[in-house]
Chain A
Amino acid sequence: MIEVRNITKRYGAQKALDDVSFSVNDGEILGFLGPNGAGKSTAMNIITGYISATSGKVLVDGCDVLEQPMKAKKNMGYLPEIPPLYEDMTVKEYLYFIYDLKKCKLPKISHMKDICSLIGLGDVYGRLIKNLSKGYRQRVGFAQALVGDPKILILDEPTVGLDPKQIVEIRDLIKKLGKRHTVILSSHILPEVQAVCDRIVVINRGRIVADDTEKNILAGFDDEKNIYLTAQGDKQSVLDSLEAISGAQKVSCKKAKGGELEIVIKSAKDSDIRRQVFDSAAKGGWAILEMRTSKPTLEEIFIRLTEQKEVG
């Protein structure tokens, strides 16, 4: 379990993190979501003890990362944004070095074999790291984090720069790892976090703007429901008849072109007014070409959450 308590990090006058607190429970996959420059890498570097916070502290299983670094670091495997690879070593030499560095006690050969088969490194085991493709380098980075079988894995944007097939593979791998490890996964890509994580922390400009499950974050924005309507008829009379519907809170015409009207109707979340819309069209003698409802997606919420802060 990781507890991040009131972390602030300043770079000169700029605050990269501002009073950030959250916690990660055992066995959880936590998504750390935020646009570029939000402070994700900074937070992960602080959690792993690479850099120190200006104030606040991080507890890993109750051990302060600064006060008991050996104990805390033994429990964590870290894949930084840029995998920390020594170009002039082979994959095997590199992983053996990491094994020695972490003073790992597991049986060396079989442990390495387990990691390589889990990650799919068998083909390149004897190759020099500088000759590996981006996808394989990322995997070697993963392997490095897994050496010593740490309880907690911290992964900083592990899919950046990979092609779509590799991204799918890496996501599957993270899901697999999530069964046996506590994982913090940072990303600026929403669907990735949606696909993999149990809980999502949204960060923007160094502040946490949401910390909940995907469902609950959506629920917070669930107080409105939109109906998107494409209609054909006289603009004014269509709008008048829609506004007469009791459940419709706000009717606006987005576009009127070639006799087709694109209309958005906002309604309360617990009312379904599609039937009334149809009835008023039948009564008013105008046609519905298309009608669909939509709740705000996490994508829209993400943008709104992050925009709110920019104004404030």
Chain B
Amino acid sequence: MGAVFRRELKSYFVTPIGYVFLAAFYAYAGLMFYVTGISEGKVRMDLLFSSLVIVLVVIVPILTMRTMAEERRSKTDQCLLTSPVSIGGIVAGKFLAAFTVYLAAISITVVMALVASIYASPDWKVVLGNLIGLALIGAAYISIGIFCSSCTESQSVAAVFGFGVLMCTTFISSIASQLPFEFLTKLADKVSFAERYYTFTYGIFDISNVLFFVSAAFVFLFLTVRVVEKRRYS
């Protein structure tokens, strides 16, 4: 796992995907920080945090598109799978590498909070809660992205597929609210990533939301392992 993690992390910055991801996130977050915070003359960190979901839906699939697909295309999976490493270890290493890059990206919000504290002290508890929420939704997104990457040999298919799945899981409640069935709307609210994430941005730290994202991350990593395992029998 350690070897895969280190190689993967390094490759994010050899291929420019890591830089592209960081640059895109910093640019978007910076713009949002300006629009929601500084320009209004008020410090509203929660608006910044809630605005970040949409950019993650677009750029996380780009971060994860290579993970499994490229190994298969270049046949390097033959080397990984015939080494004395478990598939779980390989997937975990890849997840942690992507998550590390992701943490580097979202840590910019701490810098922004510090900048904001020049004008008015933000509520640090809310900032911390938001940061945890952001990390959790990211973990779930990344594991979905890795799962999508394991389903194909093509990076671009993996990215588009990942984008589609993230759109659905995130905005399912907005779609369902258009439907005339109340139970569907309620159900959609329960599984909607955005709804759960927004409660973090309101400053509410609900343990069920934490569990929701953590289990989503585990489920999709587990499914990735299953997809790789299953392929050996095809």
Segment touching B, from A93-101, A212-220, A287-295 = A93-101
Q: Is B233 positioned at the interface, with any CB of A under 8 Å from its CB?
A: yes
User: Which residues of chain B are near A102, meaning CB under 8 Å?
Assistant: 83-84
Contacts of A100 in B (CB 8 A): 2-3, 6
A80–B78 touching, CB < 8 Å: yes
Interface residues of B, dominant DSSP: helix
Total inter-chain residue pairs, C-beta < 8 Å: 72
Most buried by B among A11, A73, A80, A101: A101
Q: Determine if A82 is an interface residue (Cβ-Cβ < 8 Å).
A: yes
Question: Are the C-beta atoms of B75 and A86 separated by less than 8 Å?
Answer: no
Q: What CA separation (Å) do A102 and B83 show in the bound complex? A: 6
Interface residues of A in 57-107 (CB under 8 A from B): 69-71, 73-74, 76, 78, 80, 82, 84-89, 93, 97-98, 100-103
Supposing A74-B84, A102-B83 touch, asked if A86 and B74 sit within 8 A by C-beta, the answer is yes
Q: Mark B62-82, 1 if CB is under 8 A from A, else 0.
A: 000000000000111111111
B15-37 interface bits toward A, Cβ cutoff 8 Å, 1 = contact, 0 = none: 10000000000000000000000
Which residues from chain B contact A144 at a C-beta distance below 8 Å?
A: 79
Decide if A84 touches B78 in the complex (CB within 8 Å): yes
The 8 A CB mask of B146-189 against A (1 = contact, 0 = none) is 00000000000000000000000000000000000000000000
Shortest Cβ gap from B142 to chain A (Å): 21
Q: Cβ of A49 and Cβ of B81 under 8 Å apart?
A: yes
Contact (Cβ within 8 A) B79 A98: yes
Cross-chain contact B76 with A85 (CB below 8 angstroms): yes
A50 touches B7 (CB 8 A): no
Q: Determine the chain B residues whose CB is within 8 A of the CB of A98 once the complex forms.
A: 79, 83
Q: Is the CB of A103 within 8 A of B84?
A: yes
Within 8 Å of chain A (Cβ to Cβ): is B232? yes
A118 on the interface (CB 8 Å rule)? no
Q: How far is the CA of A276 from the CA of B15 in the complex (A)?
A: 77
Nearest Cβ distance between residue B136 and chain A, in whole angstroms? 30
The answer to whether the Cβ of B128 comes within 8 Å of any Cβ in the partner chain is: no
Query: In this assembly, does A48 line the interface, its C-beta being within 8 Å of a C-beta of chain B?
Result: yes
- Distance between Cα atoms of A69 and B83 in the complex (Å): 9
From A11, A69, A78, give the contact of B78 (CB < 8 A): A78
- CB distance A82 to B85 under 8 Å? no
The count of residues in chain A whose C-beta lies closer than 8 Å to any C-beta of chain B is 31
The residue on A at minimum CB distance from B230 is A52
State whether the Cβ of A51 lies closer than 8 Å to any Cβ in chain B. yes
Q: Which chain B residues border A73 with CB–CB below 8 Å?
A: 82-84
CA distance A97 to B8 in the complex (A): 10
Q: How far is the CA of A93 from the CA of B15 in the complex (A)?
A: 15
B4 at the interface (CB under 8 A from A): yes
Known: A84-B76, A100-B6. A70 touches B84 (CB 8 A): yes
Given A80-B75, A84-B76, A144-B79, A101 contacting B85 (CB threshold 8 A): yes
In the bound complex, residues from chain B placing their C-beta under 8 Å from that of A84 are 74-80
Given contacts A84-B78, A85-B76, A101-B80, contact A50 B3 (CB under 8 A): no
B111 within 8 A of A: no
Using CB atoms, name the residue of chain A closest to B79. Answer: A84
B78 to chain A, nearest CB (A): 5
Contacts of B76 in A (CB 8 A): 84-86
Chain B residues in contact with chain A, CB under 8 A? 2-4, 6-7, 10-11, 14-15, 74-86, 232-234
Would you list the 10 A-B pairs with minimal beta carbon distance, nearest first? Answer: A100-B3, A84-B79, A101-B3, A48-B82, A84-B76, A73-B84, A52-B232, A70-B84, A80-B78, A51-B232
Additional pairs, 20, CB under 8 Å, beyond known A74-B84, A78-B79, A101-B79: A48-B82, A49-B82, A50-B78, A52-B233, A69-B86, A73-B83, A73-B84, A80-B78, A84-B74, A84-B75, A84-B77, A88-B14, A89-B7, A89-B11, A97-B3, A97-B7, A100-B6, A101-B80, A101-B85, A103-B84
Q: List, sorted by A's number, 27 A–B pairs whose CB atoms are closer than 8 Å.
A: A49-B82, A50-B82, A51-B232, A69-B86, A73-B83, A73-B84, A78-B82, A80-B75, A80-B78, A82-B78, A84-B75, A84-B77, A84-B78, A84-B79, A85-B74, A86-B7, A86-B74, A87-B74, A88-B11, A97-B3, A100-B6, A101-B4, A101-B79, A101-B85, A102-B83, A102-B84, A103-B85
